């Protein structure tokens, strides 16, 4: 039998709607949950993503080299290193969320990310302290990865356990909206700071500003999340003394195939999405010669406009199910991957770049939005936070953090700007194979 730990802070009296099977969701609480999940994820992913947009400035400061390409590859490798800590963070915050409460874990993760990002903005460079500079950079990125590991799985779990079952897809879209808009806000902030201080000052000290902005943003998110209650699912679980002592052991013992399915879908989602979210900016500026400022603003506008379509994908998953929408997204990526890189390599128009970026990110919503409610529907509530966070973060390590590095390396190996298209096709095939093993869950209640 699963060993349980009787919680000390929760009771049915503290939450009169503790039985989720017999409650009518309060529309006000539903909106608040979606907002808190989306805004918090936005701020966390802004903090995490701004490094990618500043890679071209960070590279010579922390990894000086006679070969600019080598500096960029080293910087992108550090971007990927941060993902190594994500499963560890997922297990830590998952345990906190499954044992103490979803709200507590979400508060802790955003505070940790804000502090780590602020420290990154204060780091001395290689010119000041030599080889210690890249070592410190790696350590801070590991701290950011640890924090990010607990965020998106927790936000998806919190929203899924709070909103009406028939609208989990629609309201669940706020999680990927927040995560993706985090990249747009990061691009916009970097573009604005570059415009104000100029590229020369940006390379000297201006790159620090976007990182330091993480501190007030984290405070805003903290205020929002402090006002939340815990989810009815967690309250019911606590009332019935179903809180397990070791959620990780419970997940690995009782839900190994569910974890594997989350990993496969996360590989497809992140492997395709991170090509646009991180690699495009490096490819467009370093390889194709577009100005950094133009690329930042184009990225921000295209991503923001694409995010406006994400709730449509969410509504479609509520209407038709998770699987048909996911399959449509994967097949679409397979069809457009080669043409996308053909167009980017041939055009000199930033407007055309923006249109390609927009279409690519709309499809990113089609493969992201159904995934997060689907993840939560694969696990019982006693291990849901841990299961989602563990599977998602392992998949993100495999194909998310590595995507920009391998894309750049493929181009270096082959000499062809088309090479990253085959990476996109490969990860989407993995997504198709994974989805074929999953029964439709969109019309069912969350498993308890």
Classify residue 290 as left (phi > 0), alpha (psi -120 to 50) or beta. Answer: beta
Distances (CA, A) of 62 to 76, 118, 217: 12, 17, 26
Confidence at residue 17, expressed as pLDDT on a 0 to 100 scale: 39
Is the separation of the CB atoms in 401 and 271 below 8 Å?
A: no
10-residue stretch averages of pLDDT, the chain, 448 residues long: 42 40 62 81 83 82 76 74 86 93 91 91 92 89 89 89 89 90 87 89 93 90 87 88 90 94 95 87 83 85 93 94 96 95 90 94 95 94 93 89 81 85 94 95 80
Confidence at residue 24, expressed as pLDDT on a 0 to 100 scale: 56
CA 203 to chain CA mean position, Å? 27
Structure tokens, 309: 């379509």
Confidence at residue 326, expressed as pLDDT on a 0 to 100 scale: 97
Classify residue 415 as left (phi > 0), alpha (psi -120 to 50) or beta. Answer: left
Which residue(s) pair with 4 in the sheet? 244
CB-facing half-sphere around the CA of 417: CA atoms within 13 A: 17
Confidence at residue 310, expressed as pLDDT on a 0 to 100 scale: 95
Confidence at residue 359, expressed as pLDDT on a 0 to 100 scale: 95
Is the separation of the CB atoms in 420 and 341 below 8 Å?
A: yes
Confidence at residue 12, expressed as pLDDT on a 0 to 100 scale: 37
What number of other Cβ atoms are within 10 A of residue 99's Cβ?
A: 21
What number of other Cβ atoms are within 10 A of residue 79's Cβ?
A: 25
Confidence at residue 10, expressed as pLDDT on a 0 to 100 scale: 41
Confidence at residue 206, expressed as pLDDT on a 0 to 100 scale: 94
Confidence at residue 366, expressed as pLDDT on a 0 to 100 scale: 96
Distance from C-alpha of 440 to C-alpha of 408, rounded to nearest angstrom: 37
Confidence at residue 67, expressed as pLDDT on a 0 to 100 scale: 66
Distance from C-alpha of 64 to C-alpha of 72, rounded to nearest angstrom: 10
DSSP conformational letter for 309: T
Rounded to the nearest 10°, the torsion over CA 11, 106, 263, 305 is: 130
SS3 18: coil
- Positive or negative, the Cα torsion across 218, 221, 226, 231? negative
Helix-helix angle 86-99:384-396, to 10 degrees: 170
Confidence at residue 21, expressed as pLDDT on a 0 to 100 scale: 41
Is the separation of the CB atoms in 173 and 369 below 8 Å?
A: yes
Is the separation of the CB atoms in 19 and 236 below 8 Å?
A: yes
SS3 157: helix
Is the separation of the CB atoms in 34 and 163 below 8 Å?
A: yes
Is the separation of the CB atoms in 250 and 380 below 8 Å?
A: no
Nearest-CA neighbor of 46 among 148, 138, 160, 170?
Answer: 148
**H/E segment holding residue 172:** helix 168-172
DSSP conformational letter for 229: P
Confidence at residue 63, expressed as pLDDT on a 0 to 100 scale: 84
Classify residue 101 as left (phi > 0), alpha (psi -120 to 50) or beta. Answer: left
């Amino acid at each position: 039998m699963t060993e349980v730990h009787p919680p000390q802070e929760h009771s049915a009296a503290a939450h009169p709607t503790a039985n989720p099977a017999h409650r009518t969701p309060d529309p006000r609480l539903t909106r608040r949950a979606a907002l808190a999940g989306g805004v918090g994820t936005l701020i966390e992913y802004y903090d995490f993503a701004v490094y990618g947009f500043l890679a071209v400035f960070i590279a010579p400061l922390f990894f000086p080299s006679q070969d600019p390409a080598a500096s960029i590859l080293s910087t992108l490798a550090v971007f990927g290193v941060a993902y190594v800590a994500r499963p560890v963070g997922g297990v830590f915050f998952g345990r906190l969320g499954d044992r103490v409460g979803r709200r507590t874990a979400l508060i802790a993760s955003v505070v940790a990310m804000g502090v780590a990002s602020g420290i990154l903005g204060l780091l001395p460079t290689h010119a000041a302290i030599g080889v210690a500079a890249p070592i410190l950079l790696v350590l801070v990125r590991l701290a950011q990865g640890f924090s990010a590991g607990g965020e998106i799985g927790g936000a998806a779990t919190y929203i899924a356990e709070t909103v009406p079952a028939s609208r989990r897809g629609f309201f669940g879209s706020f999680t990927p909206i927040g995560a993706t808009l985090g990249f747009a806000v990061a691009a916009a902030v970097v573009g604005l700071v570059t415009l104000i201080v100029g590229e020369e000052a940006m390379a000297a000290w201006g790159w620090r500003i976007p990182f330091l902005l993480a501190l007030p943003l984290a405070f805003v998110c903290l205020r929002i999340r402090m006002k939340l209650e815990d989810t009815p699912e967690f309250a019911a679980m606590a009332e019935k003394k179903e809180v397990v002592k070791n959620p990780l052991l419970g997940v690995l013992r009782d839900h190994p195939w569910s974890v594997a399915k989350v990993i496969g879908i996360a590989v497809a989602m992140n492997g395709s999405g991170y090509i646009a979210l991180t690699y495009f900016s490096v490819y467009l500026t370093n390889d194709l010669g577009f100005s950094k400022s133009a690329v930042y603003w184009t990225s921000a506008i295209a991503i923001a406009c694409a995010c406006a379509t994400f709730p449509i994908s969410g509504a479609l998953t509520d209407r038709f199910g998770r699987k048909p929408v996911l399959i449509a997204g994967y097949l679409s990526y397979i069809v457009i991957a080669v043409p996308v890189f053909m167009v980017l390599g041939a055009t000199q128009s930033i407007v055309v770049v923006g249109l390609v970026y927009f279409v690519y990110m709309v499809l990113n919503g089609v493969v992201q939005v159904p995934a997060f409610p689907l993840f939560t529907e694969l696990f019982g509530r006693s291990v849901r936070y841990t299961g989602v966070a563990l599977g998602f973060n392992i998949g993100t390590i495999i194909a998310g953090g590595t995507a920009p590095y391998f894309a750049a390396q493929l181009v270096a190996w082959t000499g062809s700007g088309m090479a990253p298209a085959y990476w996109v096709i490969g990860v989407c095939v993995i997504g198709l194979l994974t989805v074929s093993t999953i029964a439709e869950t969109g019309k069912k209640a969350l498993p308890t």
